[in-house]
Amino acid sequence: MAAEFDVVCLGAPVADLIVRSLEELPPKSTLRMVDAIDLRAGGTAYITAYVLARLGARTAMIGAVGNDQFGRFLEDELAAAGADCRGLVRHPTLGSTATVVVLDDRGDRTYIHAPGAAKALTREDLPDEVLFAGKALHIGGALINHHLDGEPTAAILREAQARGILTSLDTSYDPTGRWHLVHPALPHLDVFAPGYPEARMVAGLDDPAEIAAWARARGVTIAAIKLGEQGVWMDGPGFTGHIPAVPVEAVDTTGAGESFDGGLLYGLVNNWPLERAARLAVAMGSRTVRAVGGVSGACSLEEALDFGGRALRDT
């Protein structure tokens, strides 16, 4: 039976309140003026789903939102991008997951996070008819998917691989340091795409090439160690090496890694060579940082190819 979707994304939809620009928080009981406070759609899995839908992939999202204005906003935004939202669960009492993202003048971020409905999502909430209905299953925000992290995530990925589904995982930063919870997933991953700060903590290594080799030795097929403005270190069948970012002036780095994931998965489910898929991923990540918000750089495939230039078109 043909897959209903190209990619199914599992994780927390997040309402991002983006504050810019602020170098440090003001003292208590005082007022600090900023340039703007914007409401944007975000979340590791959500941004990847949004980017995939805009690229033209058949995409579904699974996650939890509250029965509130943030939840309605997140669902409406994703549906408008063209993604299927049947897998979104509305929690009756908890609010939607929300993050205050504080940007400084360089575009670097500090986060204040309220887990909300995401902390209540369990395996029983995930409809199998959507969860396993894609060519690929991407789990975003590992380490803050509270009831799914560790063995539950590994079990989902193991079943997906048994069904012939390409599996993918990206992490969030865990301030509690439970990095070992990623380890059970590694033998069941076709794609492991963490940012460098998380990757070095998960692996206990500093060199991106060594981290990627460590992951592959534990069963990962493709390791993509995202290096921010330095691009990515890739290690997988057919290509191993560094791909630089597309030079841009960064305004807001929110969503760059998640947009990378969307570009990479789009290429892989369309059977592109790994290097070309990675170059599309880098183009999507670089494009995102030029504007405020995690989904602001989402675009059509043709726009992405134009942005990536000859290095992408000729790969």
Residue 315 has pLDDT above 80, yes or no: no
Phi and psi for 245 in degrees, rounded to 5?
A: -70, 160
Q: What is the mean pLDDT of residues 185-190?
A: 98
pLDDT for 90-149, tens place per residue?
Answer: 999 999 999 998 988 877 778 898 999 999 999 999 999 999 999 999 999 999 898 999
Query: Which pLDDT score, from 0 to 100, does residue 124 have?
Result: 95
How far is it, in rounded angstroms, from Cα 281 to Cα 265?
8
How far is it, in rounded angstroms, from Cα 245 to Cα 86?
35
Range scoring the smallest mean pLDDT among 35-39, 51-55, 230-234: 35-39
Query: Which pLDDT score, from 0 to 100, does residue 80 have?
Result: 97
How far is it, in rounded angstroms, from Cα 144 to Cα 203?
18
How far is it, in rounded angstroms, from Cα 217 to Cα 109?
33
Query: Which pLDDT score, from 0 to 100, does residue 151 have?
Result: 97
- Architecture of the structural domain at 5-25+33-313: 3-Layer(aba) Sandwich (3.40)
pLDDT for 278-304, tens place per residue?
Answer: 999 999 999 999 988 889 889 999 999
Q: Which of 18, 63, 68, 23 is nearest to 45 (CA)?
A: 63
259 cis-preceded (ω within 30 degrees of 0): no
Mean pLDDT of the chain: 95
Distances (CA, A) of 4 to 7, 13, 50, 106, 308: 9, 22, 17, 42, 29
Which two structure tokens, joined as six digits, stand for 153?
């995530």
Residue 252 has pLDDT above 90, yes or no: no
